[in-house]
Every structure is written in structure tokens, then in C-alpha cells.
Structure 1
Amino acid sequence: MTLQAVVYTGAGVEEYDDVGAAVEAPGETWIHASAGERSDLEAIRERFDIHPLAVEDALDENTRPKTEEYGDHTFVLMKTTQLSQRDDVAFGKEIQSRSVGLFVGDGWLVTIAPPDLELVAPTASAWTRDSSRVADRGADFLAYRVLDAIVDDYFDVLDEIETDIEAVEERVLHDPEPEILEELNGVRRDLLAFRKVAWPAREAVSSLARGDVPQVAESNEKYFRDVSDHLVQVVDLIETYRDLTGGSRDIYLNAVSQSTNDVMKTLTVVAAIFIPLTFVVGVYGMNFSGTPFAMPELGWTYGYPATMLGMALVAALLLGHFRRQGWL
């Protein structure tokens, strides 16, 4: 279904196929349209005198969350989020955000969302048990319920990110493989993308909570303050998780640096042992003979075994020294 019209009255919840009939019916009217149906959007825009620029913003996935007043109605743009598998690598996830536009007027609410986003049914069905609460509190309370559902999903996404961070931290401590760094950077990118959604969303909802918008009743401002408080928690959690991923990245880099230092230490020990041995071999490898200055050891019967024994002794002494220094 590309367009849904729901009217909340004290007697119950009624659904209409025609927008005009829903508007004329008594009660609080909620019209939900799919972002993919331009004809429905144009009809709704004309019926409620919605500014064309606001509709374009609701359809633009690159627009940041915001709140704008247009005379007899207020436009609120929010973003839904979800984690999906990345296509460019075999591991990792990425944040995908979708735009949801809310137009709050006197006794009516219009929402515009992607066609595959289930938005109306869960919220509408939740109030069939006590629809009079919606009818009594107005369309702005309906908008609060939609915003609250969107923000609640933020915590579910954060729970998934937290699980990913814990898994990466475990691997950093026990098996610091090179691809872990790319995973950590991917999580940090996700958190940064999430922050770009949550931070302006907090500002957008705050304007609804502090009495700046005439379409929000004073009695309902406390509900928007609750959503704003949740968004503050979301932003704080994002910053905390960014710090955790930064700490994990530092641990990984330290582990790699320590491993490199161990390798360099081993190579230094080997080089230090072979330097004097190479010198001895080089000296006795000159093979000068037949002159008064020739090395007398060359004619000694035990010259070769003595030289080898001396070289072994030098290597043993150096190994013992490095062991006492803690290099081995």
C-alpha cells in the first residue's frame, strides 16, 4: 500500500482509502505516503498546502534532520538507521539511513517515508487498544509516537555496534591480525555516520520540546523532551563507542609495534653474535703465506679447531650476556 489514511477518534481507529474522506472525518488524521509515489505526494501537498521545498527535503536522502515552520504546519525531517553488510569488503557493516518527513498541522499529521519502511502499522496498531489517548492529545502526540519509534531503533543499532566492538576487542587482545585495523576503521566510520544523523536529530527534536513550535501543545512538550533526552543518550553512547574503538586501535598498533620490536631485537642479537665471528673468519680467510709477516696459525696443526672453538666461545659469551639483559 502506497498511501494510508488513519483517523483517531474517541470511539476507535478508522482507516480510509481516500485522503479527502479522512480529512473530513472527525478526529485526528494521520496520512502516510510512500516516497516513491509522486502523484500521491502531489495530491497530499495540494490538500494540506505543504511547501514544495519541504516535500523535496523529505525525499532527499542527503538532507540532515531538521525542524522548519511553514505557517499553519511544521516540517520535521528525521532519519531511520540500520546496519547492513558492506559490499566492498568481506567483513564489516555500514550505517544506512533513510529519510522520514513529518508535517504536523492542526488536527492532522502527514508522514512521507520510503516504500519499504514499515512505519504506520506498528504505531497505529499500538493505539487501537486505547485510541482516545491519541484523539485527546492531538496530532502532535501522533508525531511524538513516530519520532519515539524512530529513536528507539537507534538503540538497537547501537547494541549491534557494541557487539561488533566487543568482538573486535577480543581479537585485538588474542589474535591481532592485519585486517582488524580495517574493521576498527570501519566501525569508526559507522559511528561517525551515525553521529551525523543523531546530532542534528537532537537539535530538531529539541525545538519541538522547548515550546518554539505552535503546533505542539504545551501539555505534549514533555514527551518530546523525553525523545530529546534519548537522543542525548544516543550521542553520548556514540562518543563512548568511538573512544572504545580508538583505544582498541591503539592497543592493536602497540601490539604490532611490540611484535616489530621483538623481531628487531632478535635480528640485533643475531647480528651482534655474527659480527665478531665474521671478523675472525675474514682475518683468517686472507691466506697470506710465504712471507715473514704471514700468520703463524696457518701452519699450526690445531689452528682450525682452535679457531672454531674460540668462535663458539665468543658466541656463547654473547648469548649469555643477551640472556642476562633480558633480550632472549
Structure 2
Amino acid sequence: MIAAVVYGPDGVTEYDDLATARDATGTTWVRVSDADPGELDTVAETFGIHSLVVEDVRNEVRAKTQPYDDYAFTLVKTVELARGDQSFEEEILAEAVGICVGEDWVVSLSVPPDDPVDRVWDAVRRGDSRILDRGPDFTAYRIVDMIVDEYFTVLDDLETDIEAIEEAVTESTDIGTLEDINALRRDLLAFRKVAWPCREAVGVLARGGPTQVRDETEKYYRDVYDHLVQVVDLTETYRDLTTGTRDIYLNTLSQSTNEVMKVLTVIATIFLPLTFVAGVYGMNFAGSPYNMPELTWRYGYPAALVAMGAIAGGMLVYFKRKEYL
């Protein structure tokens, strides 16, 4: 889709022809969404946008801000947490959005449809006075701000997942819990790879690097930059939490294994003397010069069983007092 509007204090006008929209009085916004390569090239040729800009959007390179002679190019990425059918079966999806800001025009380029740009576009078409009077650099700010707001939504969802995993770790040591922890760590790493470059890209705009960003708009970009600093800090905090949760899981698993081994060791220790007694009395010494008198004693068998039970009971009492059990 390619759409063009020209807006200003007097209102909003939609255009079908890009060249006419480019020369109209006011701020021109051309939105390119879900377009084929030929349409992207047409828009780039109309506004004098370098072919490398279109290539960066297509290839979804990392976020950046790059000034040109007649415009400033900023590439940021939208983020979505795509969930699967199973618990914690999710994936971070990132899509590139390129924004070119000229003296009286702004062009937004995105290969797939994008909700944050949709919301700003709808606000302009409704005639939102907070956007119409402030020029193309403010419109670009609104797009970037909407995209960054989505970052906090994703972080909230990831925080909920962390809390659920922390509860699961304290309840069981199922192997699936470790897989969920590792999946969450991968999501946080993927999210960090998006948020960190975006912070640097917005930082260039906040410092007034491109001449197309006016002084009165810089404070808005600084606000977005502060939000991105918070996003990056939260991401690092959540990664530390998942690392700690994984350590707790491994320690709990190790402790559980130690408890099982302790019980098995106690059982084996108890049966060791019983095995010795049974082995001795299991030998056939009848008729030997070294005949065991217990073999001909009518109470020999019950006495051996009682002795073995006494040995086992005594060892259990001993282990209990030593808190081995």
C-alpha cells in the first residue's frame, strides 16, 4: 500500500499522485506499507531517497540514524511477542520501519503492515492538532514513540513469564522448566538486540545530529531516548533474573538428587550387615568339624531374623539421631 496525505493547520488532504503530493503546500507524508520492490523504488525516486535506504529496509538491518543532504534516515524495528500453542512457546518477531524526514515531508517505509504507524496515520487523517501543526520531524517522533511504547508491552509479557517460571522452579524440577528458562533467555537476548541499537539511533536524533530535526523537537526525542534507556535496563535486569532462576533450578535439582542419593545410601548401609548375616548363615556347615551350633537349634532361624531386625532398627535410630534421615 502506498498512501499520501498533505496536512497543516488548515486540515488534511489525501492525494493519489505522489508528485502532486510532494509539491503541495504543507507537510507531506507518504506511507509505504506491504509494498513490492517496484513501488518502493518509485517512492524513493520521487523523493530523491537513496537506494541504500530502501535496501536497508528490505534487508532489515539493525536500527540506525543516517543523515543525508536533503533528509535524515532513521530505521527502527517494531517488536511483537508471538505465542505458540504451548506454554512459553513464543518468539520475538522484529520488523524494520524506515523513516525519512525532509524539510517539509516524511516518508515511512515498511515491508509488512505495522500497527504503530497505523495509529499515527489514523491520528493525522482525523486531523489531530497535536501533529498537524508541528512538521515532519514531530510526525517521525510520534511514529518512533509508538514503536517504543510497544517495547514496554513486550517487556510486561516477558515479566509475567518470568514470574510464572519462578513459581514453577519452587514447585518442581521438571526438565520442561529448564527448557522454558532457556527459551525465555533467548527471547530476552533477541529483544536486547533490537532495543540496544534503537537506543543509539534515537540518541542521534535526541542530540540534534540531523539538521532536519528542529530544536523544539529534540526534547521529544530525548524523552523517547530516556524510555529506551529504561527498556535496555529492564532487559538486562530480566536477563539477570532468568540467570538467577536457572541457578536456583540447578541448585534445587542438585539438592533433590543429593536427597535421593542420601536415602539410597542409608538403605544400602542398612542392608550391608543384614547381607553379611544372611551370607554367613546361608553357608552349609552341617557335618563339618566346625559345625555352627545355631544350625541345629530349633530357634536358630527366628533368632537370626530377630537379630537382623534389631541391627536394622538400631541403625535406623542411629541415622535418625544423626539427622541422616
Aligned to 1:200: 197
The answer to whether the aligner puts 1:232 opposite 2:229 as a matched pair is: yes
The answer to whether the aligner puts 1:144 opposite 2:141 as a matched pair is: yes
What is the rounded CA distance, in whole Å, between the counterparts of 2:242 and 2:264 in structure 1? 33
Aligned to 2:25: 26
Unaligned runs of 5+ in 1: none
The answer to whether the aligner puts 1:115 opposite 2:109 as a matched pair is: no
| Residue 133 of structure 1: how far off its partner (Å) | 4.4
Aligned to 2:295: 298
What is the rounded CA distance, in whole Å, between the counterparts of 1:55 and 1:267 in structure 2? 67
Q: Which amino acid aligns with 2:7?
A: Y
| Residue 83 of structure 1: how far off its partner (Å) | 0.7
Aligned to 1:4: 3
Asked if the contact 1:168–1:180 (Cα under 8 Å) also holds between the matched residues in 2, the reply is yes
What is the rounded CA distance, in whole Å, between the counterparts of 2:93 and 2:118 in structure 1? 22
Q: Which amino acid aligns with 1:225?
A: R
Quote the sequence identity (%): 54
1:196-239, CA deviations, whole angstroms, 9 ceiling, x for partnerless residues? 00000000000011121111111111111011000001111111
Asked if the contact 2:6–2:26 (Cα under 8 Å) also holds between the matched residues in 1, the reply is yes
Aligned to 1:38: 37
Aligned to 2:95: 98
Within 5 Å, which residues of 2 pair with 1:204-215?
Answer: 204-215=201-212
What is the rounded CA distance, in whole Å, between the counterparts of 1:323 and 1:192 in structure 2? 48
| Residue 257 of structure 1: how far off its partner (Å) | 1.5
Report the TM-score when normalising by structure 2. 0.95
What is the rounded CA distance, in whole Å, between the counterparts of 1:282 and 1:35 in structure 2? 83
Q: Which amino acid aligns with 1:5?
A: A
Within 5 Å, which residues of 2 pair with 1:143-292?
Answer: 143-292=140-289
What is the rounded CA distance, in whole Å, between the counterparts of 2:48 and 2:125 in structure 1? 29
1:17-67, CA deviations, whole angstroms, 9 ceiling, x for partnerless residues? 221121111111111112432222111111111111111101113x11111
The answer to whether the aligner puts 1:50 opposite 2:49 as a matched pair is: yes
| Residue 174 of structure 1: how far off its partner (Å) | 2.2
Aligned to 2:72: 74
| Residue 99 of structure 1: how far off its partner (Å) | 0.6
What is the rounded CA distance, in whole Å, between the counterparts of 2:12 and 2:128 in structure 1? 6
Asked if the contact 2:22–2:47 (Cα under 8 Å) also holds between the matched residues in 1, the reply is no
Q: Which amino acid aligns with 2:236?
A: E
Q: Which amino acid aligns with 1:82?
A: E
SS at match of 1:287: coil
SS at match of 1:76: strand
Q: Which amino acid aligns with 1:79?
A: K
| Residue 140 of structure 1: how far off its partner (Å) | 0.9
| Residue 127 of structure 1: how far off its partner (Å) | 4.3
| Residue 72 of structure 1: how far off its partner (Å) | 1.2
What is the rounded CA distance, in whole Å, between the counterparts of 2:313 and 2:117 in structure 1? 80
1:310 to 307, 311, 314: 307
Runs of 4+ residues over 3 Å off in structure 1: 118-121, 127-136
Q: Which amino acid aligns with 1:92?
A: E
Q: Which amino acid aligns with 2:283?
A: M
Unaligned runs of 5+ in 2: none
Q: Which amino acid aligns with 1:48?
A: F
1:108-166, CA deviations, whole angstroms, 9 ceiling, x for partnerless residues? 11111133323444113334666554344321111100000000011111111111111
Count residues with an aligned counterpart. 325
What is the rounded CA distance, in whole Å, between the counterparts of 1:324 and 1:176 in structure 2? 29
| Residue 281 of structure 1: how far off its partner (Å) | 0.8
**Could you say what the CA RMSD is over the residues aligned between the two structures, in angstroms?**
1.8
What is the rounded CA distance, in whole Å, between the counterparts of 1:105 and 1:293 in structure 2? 111
Q: Which amino acid aligns with 2:45?
A: E
SS at match of 2:115: coil
1:164-203, CA deviations, whole angstroms, 9 ceiling, x for partnerless residues? 1112212222233220111111111000000000000000
SS at match of 1:215: coil
| Residue 92 of structure 1: how far off its partner (Å) | 1.9
| Residue 90 of structure 1: how far off its partner (Å) | 6.5
What is the rounded CA distance, in whole Å, between the counterparts of 2:308 and 2:112 in structure 1? 81
Report the TM-score when normalising by structure 1. 0.94
